[in-house]
């Protein structure tokens, strides 16, 4: 009797601990075309932002464009290059912007398009580097991790130096680590120098490149000569720039030590940058001054930053899903040898990270590190180790598909970031800038906290001074020969003594409203001769509080304190409907505010709504069971609800404590009517004490 052969088993996917899924080189052209397509899509997405919502730079990193880069580029276009401008960043960005501005006359648009071009070029350069050093699968996956990163996308359309520095760093490393011709080392050094003269933190490329060349981490045949060429290439732009700077009054002084001082002595204590500039910056002339002030504090902060910057890179630059993928990639890349083949990159990563440790953290500063992290995240999914395998053998495409999980999460985080960035853009400036440009005369100047209004309005910016009174502000305006004053939420939050200027119902002598934005508050005032005279309503604390509260609500509609102020004043002036609306809004924001709950109960009583008054007083008593005002209010609510016995019970314990004459008078009447002689006597005695205590 013959035996029936066993039925074939269904193939089941398992993790093959020692399985290999080697890369098939015939896929390289396909992945190359795919990487180019992804980079093009990135460019399209960036252009959508440029010609869509990104009509103006933000009030944070992009302020440097309005306050420096645009002015520097214009000066270069007129044949002027001032070395004193470049204490924090080098001149290359201004030079590139000046060239771009020769093609696109609108410098803001030129800066945006320059960032788009550099972001796309940087992504493609990293693909070439990684695919040539390892394989196209690693390069393509790294590209995906780059283009889904929110920080890269955000600075790929911004008017900052970051995208240019990103592209120059990528080009320098690609020339150094991919090409074998002798001139490649020279070109790599020159491009590294340009990256350094764009952002000084790129100095890390110099030692990283030298070690890579001398230790055989490149394809150069003659290590020593290649190192000399690299240094010579680095010197080609740097040395002439130094000589030019010295010849034109420049020095070797840098202002970067203020970043360190701010991080150690201000930011770590919650002190904002404006306060640091005003109160602390003058005492720090150099890095030596920073260290001398408190060497221990400096050392402790730097040791803390070593760990904290790495943690923040994982959380803010990458996001935890990609950070975990990068950590797994370290192990798998070490196992399959990719880590060793790319060791010059990890050296550059380490040096680039250490350069940033002394300054306060920003994911923007860490953007040059992103491609290294992306390569590590890609390495885990591109590695032939731990390939997902079927019984019939490993299938190379399965494990890389798992990268879709962190990639999708990164893309979602990027979308949220871009939405937040767009929401914070000061588009209100553009409304006022149109009026300013139409009405400005040659030589006009505008006082503003940020220079955006001046750039878009076509006038000269004047910083908002550290003053606290209208008279001082007016004196400053006259001394600076200023015709215009722009006041919006940054001015209000950083100069709160002038908050009321956002409320145009509070007329200020010498300030004529010429434009007011819809949505986010922004007011353009024309300054007249009477500016500096205090308005009549300054003498009335209530009116001043009202104008300030209205202004605060324009900045933050959920400002419970401002709503309480308006509700309190409206109640005192007999506008009960208005008071109720303001106080109810405030109560929804701060339900645990005792004073607010009592006042809201009083307003409900005045509107003859005892049920809601009782609810408000109960809320107050839940916060403070012994609150006399709420207990007295509960009694009034009971009377309004035709419940005199209930009112009597509620009021009995409050008689010795209340200082409300009207309430005590009513208690006397109530207890007399109810025949409660003892309570009536106590109420009369309390009323007599209250009358005797009054002068």
For residue 369, give Cα distances in angstroms to 202, 204, 351.
Answer: 11, 11, 10
- For the cut 70, the answer to whether the pLDDT of residue 359 exceeds it is yes
Q: Closest Cα to residue 134, out of 369, 322, 338?
A: 338
- Report residue 185: phi and psi, to 5°: -65, -40
Whether residue 529 contacts residue 579, with contact meaning beta carbons closer than 8 Å, is answered with: no
Residue 145 exposed, middle or buried by CB count within 10 Å (0-12, 13-18, 19+): buried
Instruction: With CA atoms as reference, report the closest residue to 637 among 603, 675, 678.
Output: 603
Give residue-wise pLDDT tens across range 200-245.
999 999 999 999 999 999 999 999 999 999 999 999 999 999 999 9
Q: Give the model's pLDDT for residue 13.
A: 38
What burial class does residue 575 get, using C-beta atoms within 10 Å of its C-beta: 0-12 exposed, 13-18 middle, 19+ buried? middle
Our measurement of the distance from residue 53's CA atom to the centroid of its chain's CA atoms, rounded to an integer in Å, reads: 17
Dist CA 562 CA 543 (whole Å): 13
Structure confidence by residue, pLDDT tens digits, 590-630: 999 999 999 999 999 999 999 999 999 999 999 999 999 99
Q: Give the relative orientation of helices 628-640 and 644-652 as an angle to the nearest 10 degrees.
A: 170
The tens digit of pLDDT for each residue in 508-526 reads 999 999 999 877 899 999 9
Residue that the structure tokens 């340009």 belong to: 194
Q: What pLDDT does 396 receive?
A: 53
Domain boundaries, the chain: 27-254+294-422, 255-288, 428-551
Q: What's the pLDDT tens digit per position in 369-389?
A: 999 999 999 998 888 776 654
Q: How far is CA 627 from CA 370, 598, 671, in A?
A: 57, 9, 22
The proportion of the chain whose per-residue pLDDT surpasses 90, expressed as a percent, equals 75
In 444-596, which ranges are E strands? Answer: 445-448, 460-463, 484-488, 511-516, 522-527
Nearest alpha carbon to residue 447 among 392, 509, 511, 376: 511
Whether residue 677 has pLDDT greater than 50: yes
- Determine phi and psi for 686, rounding to 5 degrees: -65, -40
Quick one: pLDDT at residue 351?
Answer: 96
Q: What is the 3-state secondary structure (H, E, C) of 131-169?
A: HHHCCHHHHHHHHHHHHCCHHHHHHCCCCCCHHHHHHHH
Q: What is the residue whose two structure tokens read 């015709």?
A: 483
In this structure, the dihedral spanned by the alpha carbons of residues 325, 331, 334 and 340, taken in order and rounded to 10 degrees, is 50
Closest CA to 58 of 421, 364, 317: 421
Contact 230, 207 (CB under 8 A): no
- Strand, coil or helix: what is 360? coil
Region 283-295: mean pLDDT is 77
Distance CA 343, CA 375 (A): 12
11: pLDDT strictly greater than 60: no
Strand order across the beta sheet in which 484-488 lies: 460-463, 445-448, 484-488, 522-527, 511-516
- Output the pLDDT for position 24: 61
Listed range (178-187, 317-326, 391-400, 666-675) with the worst mean pLDDT: 391-400
Angle between helices 205-214 and 343-356 (to 10 degrees): 150
**Whether the Cβ atoms of residue 156 and residue 163 lie closer than 8 Å to each other:** yes
Are the CB atoms for 172 and 212 separated by under 8 Å?
A: no
Please give the DSSP secondary-structure letter assigned to residue 254.
-
| Confidence at 695, pLDDT banded by 50, 70, 90 | very low
pLDDT at 386: 66
Task: Quote the pLDDT of residue 489.
Answer: 86
Burial of 236 (0-12, 13-18, 19+ CB in 10 A): middle
Instruction: Give me the percent of the chain exceeding a pLDDT of 70.
Output: 92
Q: What is the residue whose two structure tokens read 């400053």?
A: 476
- Decide: 542 and 555 in contact? Cβ < 8 Å: no
Mean pLDDT of all residues in 88-104: 94
Residue of 273, 347, 508, 382 whose CA lies nearest to 23: 382
Question: What are 134-177's pLDDT values in tens digits?
Answer: 889 999 999 999 999 999 999 999 999 999 999 999 999 999 99
Residue showing tokens 């070029």:
121
Pick from 213, 226, 216, 222: which is nearest to 183 by CA?
Answer: 226
Looking at residues 101-122, what average pLDDT do you find? Answer: 97
Tell me the C-alpha distance between 65 and 158, whole Å: 10
- Does the pLDDT of residue 253 top 80, yes or no? no
Distance CA 649, CA 671 (A): 10
The rounded distance, in Å, linking the Cα atoms of 430 and 432 is 5
Query: Given the structure tokens 């002036």, which residue do they identify?
Result: 573
DSSP state of 66: I
Q: What is the pLDDT of residue 259?
A: 73
C-beta neighbour count of 423 within 10 angstroms:
10
311-337 pLDDT per residue, tens: 999 999 999 999 999 999 999 888 888
pLDDT at 497 over 70: yes
Please report the pLDDT score of residue 18 as a whole number. 42
On whether the CB atoms of residues 674 and 647 are closer than 8 A, the answer is no
Is a pLDDT exceeding 90 seen at residue 562?
yes
What does the pLDDT look like over 419-435, one tens digit per residue? 999 999 999 999 999 99
Closest CA to 290 of 380, 375, 381, 360: 360
d(CA 666, CA 651): 10
For residues 293-301, give the mean pLDDT.
Answer: 80
* pLDDT attached to residue 9: 41
Token couple for 86: 């470049």
Task: Find the largest Cα–Cα distance for the chain.
Answer: 123
For residue 152, what are its two tokens?
């890269």
- pTM (2 d.p.): 0.84
- For residue 469, which of 489, 496, 490 has the smallest C-alpha distance? 496
Q: For residues 220 and 182, is the Cβ–Cβ distance under 8 A? A: yes
Q: Using CA atoms, how far apart are residues 300 and 282, in angstroms rounded to an integer?
A: 23
pLDDT at 507: 93
Length of the chain as a residue count: 695
CA dihedral over 682, 685, 687, 690, signed as positive or negative: negative
By DSSP bridging, strand 511-516 and strand 460-463 are unpaired
Tell whether the model's pLDDT for residue 394 goes beyond 70. no
Compute the distance between CA of residue 316 and CA of residue 28 in angstroms, rounded to an integer. Answer: 33
Give the SS3 label for residue 387: coil
In the chain the first and final C-alpha atoms are separated, in Å, by 123
pLDDT at residue number 250: 64
């Amino acid at each position: 009797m013959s035996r029936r052969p066993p039925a074939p088993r269904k193939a089941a996917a398992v993790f093959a601990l020692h399985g290999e899924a080697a890369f098939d080189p015939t896929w390289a052209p396909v992945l190359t075309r795919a990487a180019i397509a992804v980079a093009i899509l990135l460019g399209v997405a960036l252009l959508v932002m440029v010609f869509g919502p990104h009509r103006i730079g933000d009030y944070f990193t992009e302020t440097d464009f309005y306050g420096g880069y645009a002015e520097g580029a214009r000066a270069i276009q007129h044949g002027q290059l001032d070395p004193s401008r470049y204490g924090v960043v080098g001149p290359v960005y201004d030079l590139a912007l000046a060239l771009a501005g020769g093609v696109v006359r609108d410098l803001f648009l030129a800066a945006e398009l320059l960032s788009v071009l550099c972001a796309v070029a940087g992504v493609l350069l990293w693909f070439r580097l990684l695919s040539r050093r390892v394989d196209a699968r690693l390069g393509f996956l790294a590209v995906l991790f780059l283009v889904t990163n929110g920080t890269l996308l955000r600075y790929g359309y911004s008017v900052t130096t970051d995208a240019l520095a990103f592209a120059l760093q990528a080009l320098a490393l690609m020339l150094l680590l991919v090409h074998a011709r002798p001139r490649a080392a020279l070109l790599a050094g020159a491009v590294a120098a340009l990256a350094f003269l764009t952002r000084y933190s790129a100095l890390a490329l110099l030692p990283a490149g030298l070690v890579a060349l001398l230790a055989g981490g490149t394809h150069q045949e003659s290590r020593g000569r290649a190192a000399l060429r690299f240094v010579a290439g680095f010197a080609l732009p740097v040395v002439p720039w130094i000589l030019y700077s010295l010849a034109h009054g420049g020095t070797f002084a840098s202002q970067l030590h203020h970043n360190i001082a701010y991080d150690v002595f201000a930011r770590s204590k919650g002190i904002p940058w404006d306060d640091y500039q005003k109160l602390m910056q003058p005492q720090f002339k150099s890095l030596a001054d920073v260290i001398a002030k408190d060497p221990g504090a400096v050392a402790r902060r730097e040791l803390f930053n070593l760990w904290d910057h790495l943690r923040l890179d994982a959380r803010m630059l990458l996001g935890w899903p990609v950070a975990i993928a990068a950590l797994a990639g370290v192990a798998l890349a070490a196992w399959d040898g990719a880590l060793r083949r790319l060791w010059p990159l990890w050296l550059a990563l380490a040096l680039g990270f250490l350069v940033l440790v002394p300054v306060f953290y920003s994911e923007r500063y860490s953007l040059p590190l992103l491609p290294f992290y992306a390569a590590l995240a890609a390495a885990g999914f591109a590695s032939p180790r731990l390939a997902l395998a079927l019984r019939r053998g490993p299938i190379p495409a399965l494990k890389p598909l798992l990268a879709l999980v962190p990639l999708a999460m990164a893309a979602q985080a990027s979308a949220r970031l871009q939405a937040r960035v767009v929401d914070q853009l000061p588009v209100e400036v553009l409304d006022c800038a149109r009026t300013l440009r139409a009405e400005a005369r040659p030589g006009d100047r505008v006082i503003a906290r940020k220079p955006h209004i001046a750039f878009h309005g076509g006038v000269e910016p004047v910083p908002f001074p550290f003053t606290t009174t209208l008279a001082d502000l007016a004196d400053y305006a006259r001394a600076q020969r200023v015709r215009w004053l722009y006041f919006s939420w940054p001015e209000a939050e950083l100069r709160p003594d002038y908050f009321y200027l956002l409320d145009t119902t509070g007329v200020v002598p010498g300030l004529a409203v010429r434009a007011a934005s819809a949505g986010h508050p922004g007011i353009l005032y024309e300054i007249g001769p009477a500016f500096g005279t205090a308005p009549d309503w300054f003498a009335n604390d209530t009116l001043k509080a009202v104008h300030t509260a209205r202004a605060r609500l324009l900045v933050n509609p959920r400002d419970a304190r401002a709503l309480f102020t308006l509700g309190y004043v409206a109640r005192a002036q007999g506008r009960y409907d208005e008071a109720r609306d303001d106080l109810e809004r405030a109560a929804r924001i701060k339900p645990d505010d005792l004073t607010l709950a009592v006042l809201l109960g009083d307003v409900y009583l005045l509107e003859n709504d005892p049920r809601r008054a009782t609810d408000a007083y109960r809320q107050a008593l839940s916060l403070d069971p012994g609150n006399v005002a709420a207990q007295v209010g509960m009694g009034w609510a009971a009377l309004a609800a035709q419940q005199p016995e209930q009112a009597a019970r509620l009021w009995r314990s409050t008689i010795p404590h209340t200082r409300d004459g009207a309430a005590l008078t009513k208690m006397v009447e109530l207890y007399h009517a109810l025949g409660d002689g003892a309570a009536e006597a106590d109420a009369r005695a309390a009323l007599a004490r209250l009358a005797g205590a009054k002068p």
